[in-house]
Every structure is written in structure tokens, then in C-alpha cells.
Amino acid sequence: MNLKTVLSKETISLHLKGTTKEAIINELLDILVAADKIQDRAAAFSAVMEREQKMSTGMKHGIAIPHGKSATIRDLVACIGVSDSPVDFDSLDDQPCRIFIMTLSPVEKTGPHLQFLAEISLLFKSSEKRAEILTATSPEAILHILAE
């Protein structure tokens, strides 16, 4: 999967303001709504929060990957947000997060969803890539980092 086919400068935000998990999820959903990637915001919010209740999507190294599946989504959509301040996301390593990658996909299409999550996790194992994302000054810079 090519991340650039899923992400665009309209689906990247460099200065998330939320200070809680729910606030960050809402900001990420706002990005997807503004980019016209989702139509039913309430259903998308429910899908992501339902997934969070099963197990936090806060990973390690300051990254969280909130995601969900909804019948209201036709094709996989995704966005990236970077927070200026660390946010507690109930991460596996108990560390706060600053990089957030949200994805939503249709209930019946598992392949693209798993492929996206696998590619994102591989990408962010690199401490250099994480540092570059945190210091990026534009959505275009983030797209460039992801394409390297």
C-alpha cells in the first residue's frame, strides 16, 4: 500500500490542540470531515471509541493509531495529526503520545485496513522518522517523510 494514495496535505494537521484521548480523536475526525473523507461523523466516532474500549491504540514511542470500522465508510480513509504537547493515550509503554494516525475502513474490507496498520507500524519503528515527523513544518514535509 502506498501511503500517499491514502494521505494528502488536507488529511495532515501539525498542531493538534486536544489534551485528552477523546479530544484528539475528535480533532482527527474533524480533519477527515473537512477533507470530505467521511460523511457520518457520529458513526465514525462510535467505531473508533468502541475500538478504544476494547484496547487502547496507544502504541509505543509516542504514537497512537486510533482506528475503527464502520458500515458508513466506503473505502479506507486516514489522517495524521501531530500534537505540540504530549497527550496521555493509555499507551503500551505508559508514555504520552504526540503522533496520531487515524484510519477508518469498511466493515467488510479487512485487507487494506490490516495492510495500512502494518505499514504504519513498520514506518514508525524508526526513531529518525519519528523525530522528522515531530519537527516537520508542513503537511507536504510529512508526505515527503512518509514517501522516503
How many residues would you count in the chain? 148
Phi first, then psi, for residue 116 (nearest 5°) are -65, -50
For residues 53-87, b (16+ Cβ closer than 10 Å) or e, as one string?
eeebbbbebbbbbbbbbbebbeebbbbbbbbeeeb
The Cα–Cα gap between 52 and 67 comes to 8
Whether residue 3 has pLDDT greater than 80: no
pLDDT digits (tens, 9 = 90+) for 41-66: 999 999 999 999 999 899 889 999 99
pTM exceeds 0.95 for this model = no
Catalytic residue IDs: 67
- Cβ proximity of 100 and 81 under 8 Å: yes
- Cβ proximity of 78 and 10 under 8 Å: no
Position 1 scores a pLDDT of 55
More confident residue, 124 or 78: 78
Position 2 scores a pLDDT of 63
Neighbours of 4 (CB within 10 A): 11
> In this structure, what is the dihedral angle of CA atoms 56, 114, 106, 78, given to the nearest 10 degrees?
70
Whether residue 110 has pLDDT greater than 80: no
Binned at pLDDT 50, 70 and 90, residue 132 comes out as very high
The Cα–Cα gap between 104 and 40 comes to 12
Domain ranges of the chain: 3-147
In 3D, which of 98, 77, 105 has the Cα closest to residue 7? 77
Q: Give domain 3-147's CATH number out of 3.30.830.10, 3.40.630.30, 1.10.645.10, 3.40.930.10.
A: 3.40.930.10
In 3D, which of 64, 25, 27, 30 has the Cα closest to residue 46? 25
pLDDT digits (tens, 9 = 90+) for 5-25: 789 999 999 999 999 999 999
DSSP 72-83: T-SS-EEEEEEE
More confident residue, 125 or 84: 84
Paired with 105 in beta bridges are 69
